[in-house]
Amino acid sequence: MSHRSLTHAEAVTRAAVVRKLSYELDVDLTGGSETFTSITTLRFSAQEGASTFVEVRPQRLVSVTLNDAILDATVVDGRIELSGLSGDNTVVVAAEFAYSHSSEGMHRFVDPADGEVYVYAQPSITDAPRFMACFDQPDLKAPVTLLVTANPSWTIRANEECVQEKPGRWRFHPTKPIATYLITLVAGPLVEIRDEHDGISLGVLARKSYSEVLERDAPEIFEVTKACFDRFHELFGIRYQFGKYDQAFVPEFSWGAMEFPGCVVFRDEYLFRATVTDTERLERAAVIAHEMAHMWFGDLVTMRWWDDLWLNESFATYMGYRLVSEVTRWPQSWTRFGVNRKVWGYAADQRPSTHPVAPTKVSDTDDAINNFDGISYAKGCSALRQLVTWIGDDAFFGGLRKYFDKHAWGNATLADLLGALSESSGRDIDAWAHLWLRTPQVNTLRPEISFSEPGVFESVTVHQSAPESYPVLRPHRIGISWLTPSGEWASTEAEVSGEVTPVPQLAGVAGRGLLLNSGDYTFAKVRLDDQTRADLVDLLARQPDTLSRALMWNAAFDAVRDAEWPADEFVDLVGAALSGETDVTLLDSVFQLARTVAVPRLLPMTTYQRALDSLAATAASIVEVAPASSGRQLAGARNLVSSTSQAPMLRGWLAGIGVPQGLVVDSDLRWSILCRLAVLGEIGHEQIDAELQRDTSARGRQEATRARASLPDAAAKATAFDILMNEKGLSNRIVEYAGYGLWQPEHAELTSSYVERFFTELPISQGRSPDLMALIGHAGYPVFAVSQDTLDLAERTLAGDLHPQLRRSLMDETDDLRRALRAREGARSA
């Protein structure tokens, strides 16, 4: 059912009407495979005679009563109008709702491995009305009493503890006051492992077919969870407030995870059914810590409106990576952030869709959804790192404790937080916030170096610039490092402000390989001087610090992305330096930048195969020198599979022939091999079907979809395009994987006719959900069709009428297309 986006003005008006709110939500999951029912009872106070509205988006409205009077109500734009309110009101809405297959509202999943059914609620920021009637805005927090009727053999988990009143009937204790976007339930024949730490009951849950995986991964998940709880309690000075702490890993979840208090939900790709590297384990730990941080940032203290989304996501990202570096087995977490998440933030902040970390206005919920991006997460996190560097840990956490104490169980704004931090630090945080949080776009820092003699700095100056459209220069406290003649790395600090900042302490210092922003404490693009650029292979080999190496790689990639360096240079750098990289996180991240961006998009297609062969050779050398059974070997093998054109080697690995000692060709690696063989035209549907019989899981179905779409076959491409553009009722994952398989650089001629069709047929997809349309905009975009014709088609489409989420995804991909065109023009081998 269509609905109207809630505006900020409407939310303010309704918040002035509704007081003393509580919910009782009675959900019946026994009705069938397409729909379920719920009865929502809303109790609230209001001024006599006032009016407001409640949001609900049912398949069928059964009944509505207001203070025991039956209303002749209809749903218009996802709303039911309520008029003639009393001082105390009871509204009861009974409705039948449709299950979702796109992880919005109430998602239903049938596990192909065993036929078992699973259901979970994902209200996102606008989808609670897809399973209940509510006042769907963050500042109307309320206790929620949940009742569930379901298959008696199922396990049901939600925000609070429950009692099973009788077989098939569960009643949950009332929650503390929470916003509607934090309500969830998870249901099905779940397997569960429980533990306890510091008085907190801990649980991890997954579907039955993942029982062995859960049993294997649960100890590490509990280890991270316990360590993070201890550190959060120490830093925040206020204990976790939501009773139990369940972590449920569910199928087809659209986000990485969601911070439902008492029952955090994760996509079950974070349960590792196959061998993984430290990169995946670190990322899982960071997500666990991120969601746990939300128990304070977002759940205990909630933003008043979506303009303060950063109060949730920036803080959770910062605390997540910080805690992983401090209390887990992955101290290199900031390295991963710097070469992965921060690259995402830099890209987002330079696009036409850029916005401040904390915008002064978010007009409606459609606008709010578009702010879940690299700015709210990565840039905001980096801004907080810069703030902590400026005011220090004691002032930072002292301010946070004041903030939690004052606003617990309520709502807060940027001004509330700044007031607490200003009080604790004695500094003017408002001025800092204006420059860092209220203005968009990113600064660039460039060193200017003169030498008194070879290898001796005469003077070093840092030049700061900003785009003409956003001419804001920010203050930066940065580290500066260099390689000394003795082979050691030295560093100093500098306060950068304005256009030009001298660094007098470096005058007369002997060294080379100057690196700005060592420690990565600010959010700014960094350029390398000419000598450092020329010596980069040697400098990477001599730098023992993984974060510093990440900064060097970032500087090189960003210069290529901005068309200041030719893309060939980055590919050559990968070939010369990456095979010696020992940190798996860095190796993985850099190779993916080369494999997914630099080679297929930034280089002319005339050099694609040569560059791809170079990447394959680099990956092969990594496999050759890596210790058997190591994460480095696995990372090299994955990258070799994705880039090689040697079909006999790939077929041999599938058959167990020529496999490097210690490498396990498990289900995930087998699918990667099959997808690459499909691209090369070396297999057909028969081999894909056979592999699907070996792996009957949901992941197997997704990978089979991608493999079929990857075939250089006209019928296969037609099917993939149809799934992407026209099929309804398929899961979000199937649609996503069809898009990933459809477009291949090797198949440019075969898919050329679909480029125009993608843009001209997109409006037909507007009956789909917002999240799914955004997914289609990204996964279905013809990213390898880098041409002016494609750009013209994209701009013509963007000039038309599009849903905000679809427009945002197309706008971002089109900006990347423009950059790719500029990079190709500057390639050395063009």
Q: Which residues are catalytic?
A: 291
Euclidean distance between CA atoms 753 and 741, whole angstroms:
16
Euclidean distance between CA atoms 416 and 358, whole angstroms:
13
Structure tokens at 389: 């560097």
Give the DSSP H or E segment for 191: strand 191-197
Close Cβ partners of 612 (under 8 Å, ≥ 6 residues apart) = 599, 600, 643, 645
Euclidean distance between CA atoms 724 and 765, whole angstroms:
9
Q: Please name which of 157, 162, 219 lies closest in space to residue 188, comparing C-alpha atoms.
A: 157
Q: Are the C-beta atoms of 213 and 273 separated by less than 8 Å?
A: yes
Q: Are the C-beta atoms of 322 and 286 separated by less than 8 Å?
A: no
Q: How many residues are recorded in the chain? A: 830
Ramachandran region, residue 520 (left: φ > 0; alpha: ψ -120 to 50; beta: rest)? left
Q: Are the C-beta atoms of 63 and 40 separated by less than 8 Å?
A: no
For residue 145, the tally of other CB atoms under 10 A from its CB is: 16
Cα separations in angstroms, 429 against 387, 394, 499, 559 = 9, 15, 22, 32
Q: In what order do the strands lie in the sheet with 456-465?
A: 500-502, 456-465, 443-453, 524-526
- Alpha-helix residue ranges (DSSP H) falling in 8-70: 8-17
Strand partners, 544: none
Give the type of residue at 192: E
Radius of gyration (C-alpha) of the chain in whole angstroms: 27
Structure tokens at 135: 């006042």
Q: Are the C-beta atoms of 474 and 436 separated by less than 8 Å?
A: yes
Greatest extent of the chain over all pairs of C-alpha atoms, in Å:
90
Euclidean distance between CA atoms 777 and 805, whole angstroms:
9
What number of CA atoms fall less than 13 Å from residue 430's CA on the CB side? Answer: 4
Phi, psi of 378, rounded to the nearest 5 degrees: -75, -50
Chain centre to alpha carbon of residue 277: 19
Euclidean distance between CA atoms 806 and 799, whole angstroms:
13
